[in-house]
Amino acid sequence: MSQRNKNGHDQERVRNEASETTPLIPPAPTTVDASPEARLDEATTNPSSSSSTAGGSGINNAKPNAKPANVDDYGHTLANQTISVARGILCTLALGFLIFLQATNISLITTTQSRIAADLDAFDKTSWFTSAYLIAMSALGPLNGKLSSVFSPRICIFASTIVLAIGSVLSSLAGSFETFVFGRAITGMGASGVFTISIIIVLELTGSKRRGIAIGLLNTGYTIGVAVGATAAGALLPVVGWRALFWIQAPVALAGGLVLLFAIPHDFTAGAKDESGLSTGERLARLDYFGALTLTAAIVLMLYSLSSPREIPIMPIVLSMVVLLTFVMNEIYLAKDPIIPISLMKSRGLLLTCLSTVGYMMARWSVLFYTPTYAIAVRQWSPATAGSILIPTNAGFAAGGLLVGWFHIRRQGSFYVPCLVVYSLFPITMILLAFLSTQHSNPVLYVLIVLAGGAVTGGALNYTLAHLLHLTPKSTHYIATSLVATFRGFAGSFGSAIGGGMFTRTLYTSLHTHFEAEGLHHKERLIRRLLGSPALVGQLTGIDKQVAINGYEDALRMLFLAGAGLAVLMVFVQAGTGWKGPKEESVLEEEREALVQNSGRSAAFHLHILKIIPILVHLITAPTLFRTALNLRNFLLNLIIILDNRALKLRLQHPIHRKVTTTHQRGDLLQILFDPRLRLLELVAEEAHTTVPIPPEALAQRIHKLASLQTDRFLLDGLLLACFGFAGEAECAEAGGVGHAWVHAAVDALDVGGA
């Protein structure tokens, strides 16, 4: 008993030391509920109902476990950290401004790219104006999350605002395409810290009841920035020029960073406090800088190829695969603190959530990037008016996220069905946009469709995040949400580069075909300018203008239909996440999976071959009919395993089978497999794994209840055998109402060789 209690204390210590690097699928526990008699009482009185367990002993213990310290009276998880109201208001305002500023950098390019492309002579490279920013922002997200655990969130977010300000100034001073893209990448590095650490701060300061509305507010600030950025940039462009739109961001970013530096308490941490004993330098040395570099390089090479306006070059894709393989090998074998833990991606829920987020948001970004293009090129609206088309879709995005957070995501648990419903609605809006993106469609209907698309997307992101928190253990929530934020950022860069490449190639083909059909040759220079300057369409006249409009209509239709197809595929990917969280998976399933994963197929084969030999000897020489039947069952059991019937193989790894076969070298396994009457015996043997002592009176009550249901000798023999797992010989004999001689006889009949 002392050894079992020691194991229990060790397991509790390990659980208390869990951190963000704890595997998403934890090792299977070797204990069961603290009061097994409560579950057994319920199983015998109402076998069809699920059981509740509690600590303590006696009949009235069928109640929930004692409430954890971080859970309120209604079962809601409380916030991990709290701050004063004044600090909370300052943090909310500063975070709101920074998130707004970070988001404006995404959309302002949609209404200013024509002017920037003309000044920098980069008409066929405009997709990189946004991609450079988004790639840096997404690739460095996990690294910023790790840095916040080393230096604290307040220091890291302040440093991020400084980097963002430097990048903004560099972009405003750029005299060439290369310098401008470099400045945009620096800005993205700073924005990465702002976005990632904002999520960490929100998760730390909110409990489960308000987490949905808090994330909804965060998304609202983000989406307002995307909407207002395009509109404001379009309105200010003729007044101040595009360079001022970038350098003006520097003082705003620095002001927000200073407010957060003083508003966030000094002892505010990102998750659990570090107790590793490592110095700051040692913790910094453990960070995965090489992983961040190789991941960024792999993405840049891939997107450089897929964003090509003409033919897709193959060599960058090959190099990207090589660098990506290097990244994966580094994450698995070399990185001490990997930027994207490959082992965590073995969690089906996390992996498929990340993949569905990438595909879903790629389709969404095509709307954000190219509906203003539609308004400028096809409708000939002014840049300010064209940017305003993002207001309804982002208003819908904010409303959708807030509404589901306010009215529905007010509990912990699965949101599987709502995720699939909102995921299924978005492709419909994409198809409608594809056929409404024409010169003569109803603009009011067009605005309503983009509004609806934004609403379902906002709801989808909130639902999927809440569902992910249900699918993953709490100790991994920060790294899981960081990974989702990373993949969401990838969606923006992928949508900008890959979607932009598809749009540009389709536009080039359509323009070239239509000009050739009209007998207009030598239009290559005009086509090149049209590829990066939708505002140029409004300056054309006659057949040139009509061909340009038709080309943009064709390209937009192809882009939105491709986005719809991608969104449909993501419905099935999201469906694969499942609805069961780690707490819903039984101890038995975890133990079975652990055994299957930790044992080799060939080793298992030879093990059971060796088992069959002594069993055959016992089968031939068995002195009694009972032992003959017992050995025959064991022979058939091992034969079944050798034939590798996986379902039975998993079933046979139940604790009772391991308990009887490994500890006592015997067991009536086959009968337990196929006789449902013996489920109660199975429960008793399962409870033998508990580290909590069973009071004698509770043991007596359980045994008498079992004996009254089935009194044949086999059940009592098996029951007493199971008793030895958690009680001594004398206690078993006393509880069973039999003498020691009967206990010895039962043990001898089963050929256990003693207690």
- For the chain, helix (H) and strand (E) counts, in that order, are 33, 0
Which are the contacts of 687, defined by CB distance < 8 A and separation ≥ 6? 32, 33, 36, 39, 40, 694, 726
d(Cα 541, Cα 485) in Å, to the nearest integer? 45
In a domain, residue 503? The reply is: yes
d(Cα 682, Cα 719) in Å, to the nearest integer? 9
pLDDT score of 396: 85
- Average pLDDT score over residue span 468-494: 75
Q: Is 314 helix (H, G, I), strand (E, B) or coil?
A: coil
Is residue 412 domain-shared with residue 482, that is, in the same domain? yes
Amino acid making up residue 476: T
Q: pLDDT (tens digit, 9 = 90+) per residue, 403-415?
A: 887 777 767 677 8
Q: Please, which pLDDT band fits residue 590 given cuts at 50, 70 and 90? A: very low
Poorest-pLDDT segment among 169-183, 246-260, 458-472, 726-740 = 726-740
- Average pLDDT score over residue span 97-126: 84
Closest CA to 461 of 403, 411, 401: 401
Amino acid making up residue 309: P
Is residue 603 domain-shared with residue 470, that is, in the same domain? no
In a domain, residue 655? The reply is: yes
- Asked whether 461 and 322 are in contact (CB, 8 A), the reply is no
Q: Please, which pLDDT band fits residue 37 given cuts at 50, 70 and 90? A: very low
d(Cα 301, Cα 244) in Å, to the nearest integer? 31
Q: Please, which pLDDT band fits residue 631 given cuts at 50, 70 and 90? A: low
Closest CA to 548 of 527, 562, 568: 527
Tally of domains within the chain = 3
Q: Please, which pLDDT band fits residue 210 given cuts at 50, 70 and 90? A: low
pLDDT score of 651: 38
Radius of gyration for the alpha carbons in the chain, expressed in angstroms and rounded: 32
Between residues 34 and 131, the one the model is more confident about:
131
Between residues 244 and 37, the one the model is more confident about:
244
The CA–CA distances, whole Å, from 464 to 75, 184, 197, 261, 356 equal 21, 30, 20, 31, 9
Is residue 308 domain-shared with residue 408, that is, in the same domain? no
- Asked whether 376 and 233 are in contact (CB, 8 A), the reply is no
Is residue 202 domain-shared with residue 324, that is, in the same domain? no
pLDDT score of 450: 92
Q: Which of 336, 357, 372 is the last residue of a domain?
A: 336
Between residues 682 and 112, the one the model is more confident about:
112
d(Cα 567, Cα 555) in Å, to the nearest integer? 18
411: region left, alpha or beta (phi > 0 left; psi from -120 to 50 alpha): beta
Q: Please, which pLDDT band fits residue 274 given cuts at 50, 70 and 90? A: low
In a domain, residue 72? The reply is: no
User: Which of 195-204, 589-598, 653-662 is predicted most confidently?
Assistant: 195-204
Q: What domain range is 250 assigned to? A: 86-272+337-584
Both tokens of residue 682? 């199975």
Closest CA to 256 of 121, 127, 162: 162
Is residue 129 domain-shared with residue 239, that is, in the same domain? yes
Q: pLDDT (tens digit, 9 = 90+) per residue, 360-386?
A: 999 998 888 899 899 999 998 888 888
Is residue 388 domain-shared with residue 424, that is, in the same domain? yes
Cβ–Cβ contacts within 10 Å for residue 383, how many? 26
Q: Is 54 helix (H, G, I), strand (E, B) or coil?
A: coil
Q: pLDDT (tens digit, 9 = 90+) per residue, 21-35?
A: 333 223 333 333 333
Half-sphere exposure of 7 toward its Cβ, with a 13 Å CA cutoff? Answer: 12
In terms of Cβ atoms closer than 10 Å to its own Cβ (0-12, 13-18, 19+), residue 112 is: buried
Q: Please, which pLDDT band fits residue 19 given cuts at 50, 70 and 90? A: very low
pLDDT score of 558: 94
Task: Say whether pLDDT at 150 is over 90.
Answer: no
Q: Is 337 helix (H, G, I), strand (E, B) or coil?
A: strand
Is residue 578 domain-shared with residue 659, that is, in the same domain? no
Q: Which of 524, 556, 584 is the last residue of a domain?
A: 584
| Cα angle, residue 519 at apex, residues 517 and 522 outer, rounded to 5° | 110
pLDDT score of 566: 94
pLDDT score of 428: 95
Between residues 21 and 140, the one the model is more confident about:
140
Both tokens of residue 551? 């080309």
Q: pLDDT (tens digit, 9 = 90+) per residue, 521-550?
A: 777 888 888 887 888 888 888 888 899 999
In a domain, residue 237? The reply is: yes
pLDDT score of 518: 79
Closest CA to 559 of 389, 426, 364: 364
- Average pLDDT score over residue span 388-401: 83
Q: Please, which pLDDT band fits residue 582 given cuts at 50, 70 and 90? A: low
- Asked whether 455 and 395 are in contact (CB, 8 A), the reply is no
d(Cα 257, Cα 251) in Å, to the nearest integer? 10
pLDDT score of 167: 94
Task: Say whether pLDDT at 245 is over 80.
Answer: yes
With tokens 């009887």, the residue in question is 660
d(Cα 516, Cα 193) in Å, to the nearest integer? 49
DSSP states along 533-599: -GGGGGG--HHHHHHHHHHHHHHHHHHHHHHHHHHHHHHHHHHTT-S--GGGS-HHHHHHHHHHHHS
Is residue 745 domain-shared with residue 682, that is, in the same domain? yes
CATH assignment at residue 460: 1.20.1250.20
- Average pLDDT score over residue span 77-91: 75
d(Cα 164, Cα 105) in Å, to the nearest integer? 10
In terms of Cβ atoms closer than 10 Å to its own Cβ (0-12, 13-18, 19+), residue 257 is: buried
Is residue 402 domain-shared with residue 489, that is, in the same domain? yes
- Measured in degrees and rounded to the nearest 5, phi and psi for residue 215 equal -65, -35
Task: Say whether pLDDT at 297 is over 80.
Answer: yes
d(Cα 284, Cα 470) in Å, to the nearest integer? 31
Task: Say whether pLDDT at 557 is over 90.
Answer: yes
pLDDT score of 41: 36
Is residue 560 domain-shared with residue 600, that is, in the same domain? no
CA 272 vs. chain centroid, Å, equals: 20
Task: Say whether pLDDT at 184 is over 80.
Answer: yes
Is residue 409 domain-shared with residue 492, that is, in the same domain? yes
Q: What does the mean pLDDT of the chain come to?
A: 70
Is residue 472 domain-shared with residue 456, that is, in the same domain? yes
- Asked whether 605 and 642 are in contact (CB, 8 A), the reply is yes
Which are the contacts of 577, defined by CB distance < 8 A and separation ≥ 6? 348, 349, 352, 353, 356, 416, 419, 467, 468, 471
In a domain, residue 5? The reply is: no
- Measured in degrees and rounded to the nearest 5, phi and psi for residue 577 equal -70, -25
In a domain, residue 670? The reply is: yes
Q: Which of 561, 584, 607 is the last residue of a domain?
A: 584
Amino acid making up residue 400: G
Both tokens of residue 506? 């389709």
In a domain, residue 66? The reply is: no
pLDDT score of 80: 65
Helix (H) or strand (E) holding 411: none
In a domain, residue 607? The reply is: yes
